[in-house]
Structure formats: C-alpha cells, structure tokens
Structure 1
Amino acid sequence: MAFEEIKENAEELKHEVKNLLDANLKYYKLWGFKILMKSTSAILKVFLLGVMLIIVTVFFSIAAALGIGYWLDNFAYGFLIVGLIYLVTAIVVYKVQDKIVEGPMLSTFSKIFFKKYD
C-alpha cells in the first residue's frame, strides 16, 4: 500500500514538474515577445523621426542656401557654403561618434534587456 502511494506521489510530482516547465516556457516566450516588440517599436519610432528630420533639414538647407545666395548675389556660393557647413558638421560628428552613439544606445538597451520584472 505504501508503494502505491509513493508511485501516485511520483506521478503527481512528474505532472506538476511538467506543468511548471510549461508555465516557465510560456512566460519566457511572452517575455521575449515583449522585449522584441519594445525594441521594434523603438527602432520604428527612431526611423520615422529620422525621416521627418531629414525632410525638415532638406527644406531648411535649401532655404538657407537660397538666402545666402540672395545675400551674396550668387546662388552657387550659397549652396557651396551650406555644403561646407554640412561637411564640417560631418567631420565633427565622425570624430565624436562613439560618445554620441555608443553610450546612449548601450544605456537604452541595457534598461530594456536587463530590467527586472516583478
């Protein structure tokens, strides 16, 4: 009789362990989906914001080039000056790119991936 109780308890324990493993698997799938969605939505937001900023920059650049061209009575000089401003800006950004990009990205993704969930 005691052997049957042990056998029943072992079977029940096996069933409970299987339920626990299934629940953990479902939890981690949901957790992975949550992180994937947060990352995807953040990338999409940055992409859309970047596109809008590029459009604004193009219009402001044309306006600035035309304004400088009117001021200098030569549109080519206006566009050349605006182009040189962008060239200098690109060189500066290239020199400090690690400080601008790597730190904030590492911080943001660390918060997402290593956040403790209750």
Structure 2
Amino acid sequence: MGLVDAISNTNDKAVEVSERYVKTSLKYYKLKVFQQLSISVSIVFKALIIGSLALMCVLISAVGLALFIGESTQNYPFGFLMVGLLFLILSIIAFALRRLINKWVIKKLSKKFFD
C-alpha cells in the first residue's frame, strides 16, 4: 500500500500546486488588465487635454496670423484666405504621410500595451 499512498500524496500535491498556479495566474492577469486599462485611459485623457490646449493655441495663432497678414496687405479676407491655404497645405501633407503616422502610432502603442 505504500506505493498507492505515495502516488495519492503526489497527486494531492500536484492538484494543490495546480490550484495555486491558476489562482496566481488569475491575479496576475487581473493586474495586467488593470495596468493596460489604466495606461490606455491615461493616454486618452492626456491626449484630450493636450490636444484641446494645442487646438486652442493653433486657433488663436491662426486668427492672429490672419489678422496680421490682412493688416499688412490692407485686405483682411486675403489674410484669412492665406491662413486657410496654409492649413490646406498642412492637411495635404498629413494625408500624404498618413501611413507613416499610423505606423508610428501603432509602434508607440504596442510598446505600451505589450510590455
């Protein structure tokens, strides 16, 4: 009976170790999901704050530049037209570089998400 008892004891230990492994793995994955979720929410929140402040800066600067160009040329509509064309050119450049921008964003996010 010694062999049967030894095998039974070993099986009990294996079950206990397996249960501890599963519980520890579950805790680890919960922490990992929490970490990734908090990083993602933090990135979105920071992007919203920084993006809104940058947008306000760009809008105020654009109006100022348009007024400056309009005053310099004695033609305010021309100043606003020039600033509009500047933004159109920047938009075309951003559209042309969209794949490069996508790769850069994916690379940055993958480092945050998978590390």
TM over 0.5: yes
CA displacement at 1:12 relative to structure 2:
3.1
TM-score, length basis structure 2: 0.87
Q: Does 1:8 align with 2:14?
A: no
1:5 CA displacement = 4.2
> How many correspondences in the alignment?
114
TM-score (normalised: structure 1)? 0.85
Quote the Cα distance in structure 2 between the aligned partners of 1:90 and 1:5.
74
Alignment of 1:16-95 (within 5 A): 16-95=17-96
| Runs ≥4 residues deviating over 6 A | none
Give the C-alpha shift of residue 34 in structure 1. 0.8
| Long gaps (5+) in structure 2 | none
Percent identity over the alignment is: 27
1:18-70 Cα distance to aligned partner (Å, 9 max, x none): 11111111101111211221122112212211111100001001111111111
Two-structure CA RMSD over aligned residues (Å)? 1.6
- Amino acid of the residue matched to residue 107 of structure 1? K
Unaligned runs of 5+ residues in structure 1 are none
